[in-house]
Amino acid sequence: MSEPVRILLADDHVLFRTGVATVLASRPDLEVVGEARDGLEAIALARETMPDIILMDIAMPRCSGLEATRRIKHEMPYVKVVIITVSDNEEDVFEAIKCGAQGYLIKDLKTRRLFDVIEGVVKGEAFLSGVIAAKILQEFQQPAEGAVRRSEAIEPLTGREIEVLGLVVEGRANREIASALVISESTVKNHLRNILGKLHLRNRIQAAVYAVREGLVAASQQK
Amino acid sequence: MLYTDSMSSRQNGESKVRVFILSSESLFDLGLESLLRQEPALEVVGHEADLDRALVRISVLSPDVIVVNSAEASCRPTAAMLRLMNGTPGTKIIKLNLQDNTVCMYREEQREVEVVSDLARFICQMLDR
């Protein structure tokens, strides 16, 4: 028989945390190695128990689950973190993914689903709650007329960042952008980092697609 | 297993507090049922996800307390909660939620769970008054 999956629970909701621990204890292939009431306890217990998976709430006192996830993943990247929260806020989802979480689940999930997620995450898979996945897909599939609303939801780009983005769309390399704008290459990189951060995107290709779809390129060229 | 002084009298001759759970069958609800079943002073007599079916079963089972799980943290009764209250006159109702540790005790003062045994204590205190 293989080793049980070692799980750390982090949630300030007493009944949820203890109830989940009781449910997990019914499975011989799972072992709850600790229960944390806030993010700081989660970090300390993660160091102490070296769990395979942490089931982490977001809204906790002293240190949020997102901050705890960020610190734990930085220190112990092999530990898998699955967020379990009541929040279906898209910013929380993106932030959790950026912090390194392997899963994002809403708390009203079925027990069977949690078991499936645990098994999958151990194998290296990633999971989103159905409602979250649907919201993200909807966000990416929105037609151009939805651009204004979405643009309002994110931090606006500066004029310089839009100029950089316009040159990215033209396929210019960082060195060429630096030359065109008479700035250093490292400044271009900083602008790109800020652009990706503000738009919640991963790379310049996604940024270019976004710029074209949102009409940011046209705005840049009209200047 | 959790045990408190307020429950000891119920262990010594008095019958157990009969609890009915009204909630979906989510992870939290099953965990909650497991926790309540571990309490020596309590007896879970039923669990129902649908309000209409719950009202029928409650009228037959006559539980002492109904434990409700709700997405809403606010204690302000929803339409469903008002239906439940009107349909079960005299029965104590406790509402939990997924967002925080607040326990809404209908027809009683509001409380907050700090440790798991608090829930069983609140249930017993409601009936011992």
Complex ipTM: 0.76
pLDDT beyond 50 at B38: yes
To test the contact with chain A by mutation, choose from B24, B27, B30 the residue with the greatest count of A C-beta atoms within 10 A, namely B27
Q: What is the pLDDT of residues A104-123, one digit of tens each?
A: 888 888 888 899 889 888 88
Please give the Cα distance from A151 to A214 (Å, whole number).
8
Confidence label for A53 from pLDDT (cuts 50, 70 and 90)? very high
pLDDT beyond 80 at A2: no
Across A117-126, A192-201, B119-128, least confident range: B119-128
CB contact under 8 A, A108 and B99: no
CB contact under 8 A, A14 and B113: yes
The beta-carbon neighbor of A15 closest among B24, B71, B96 is B96
Across A89-93, B31-35, B78-82, least confident range: A89-93
Q: What average pLDDT does this structure show over A4-18? A: 93
Task: Give how far B125 is from chain A: nearest CA, Å.
Answer: 19
**12-41 in chain A: CB under 8 A from chain B:** 12-16, 18-23, 26
Across A138-142, A154-158, B2-6, B61-65, least confident range: B2-6
* Of residues A6 and B113, more confidently modeled: A6
**Average model confidence (pLDDT) across chain A:** 83
Task: Report in angstroms the alpha-carbon separations of A51 from A10, A32, A217.
Answer: 12, 9, 47
Q: Is B97 helix (H, G, I), strand (E, B) or coil?
A: strand
**80-109 in chain A: CB under 8 A from chain B:** 86, 107-109
pLDDT beyond 70 at A77: yes
Closest CA to B5 of B46, B33, B52, B40: B40
Q: What average pLDDT does this structure show over B96-119? A: 82
A217 DSSP 8-state letter: H
Q: What average pLDDT does this structure show over A141-153? A: 49
Res A76: pLDDT: 87
Taking a C-beta distance cutoff of 8 angstroms, is the pair B96, B63 a contact?
no
Enumerate the residues of chain A whose CB falls inside 8 A of the CB of residue B98. 13, 16, 86, 107-108
CB count in 10 Å sphere of residue A132: 23
Residues facing A55 on adjacent strands: A9, A82
Residues 6+ apart with CB under 8 A from A181: A160, A163, A164, A167, A188
Q: Residue A22 has which token pair?
A: 């009781």
Res A35: pLDDT: 96
Taking a C-beta distance cutoff of 8 angstroms, is the pair A96, A66 a contact?
yes
Please give the Cα distance from A150 to A163 (Å, whole number).
20
Please give the Cα distance from A104 to A11 (Å, whole number).
14
Res A144: pLDDT: 43
Q: What is the pLDDT of residues A81-105, one digit of tens each?
A: 999 998 887 778 888 888 888 888 8
Please give the Cα distance from A79 to A77 (Å, whole number).
5
Q: What average pLDDT does this structure show over B89-118? A: 83
Strands A127-128 and B17-22: unpaired
Residues facing B93 on adjacent strands: B66, B106
Q: Name the packing angle between helices A204-214 and A185-199 (round to 10°).
A: 60
Res B9: pLDDT: 43
Task: State the sign of the Cα–Cα–Cα–Cα dihedral B103, B104, B106, B108.
Answer: positive
Q: What average pLDDT does this structure show over A12-30? A: 92
Res A137: pLDDT: 65
Confidence label for A39 from pLDDT (cuts 50, 70 and 90)? very high
Task: Say which CATH superfamily domain B3-126 falls into.
Answer: Response regulator (3.40.50.2300)
Q: What average pLDDT does this structure show over B31-55? A: 90
Task: Give how far A136 is from chain B: nearest CA, Å.
Answer: 22
Closest CA to A71 of A106, A36, A19: A36
Res A218: pLDDT: 60
* One-character DSSP codes across A75-121: H-TTSEEEEEES---HHHHHHHHHHT-SEEEETT-BHHHHHHHHHHH
Q: What average pLDDT does this structure show over A139-161? A: 63
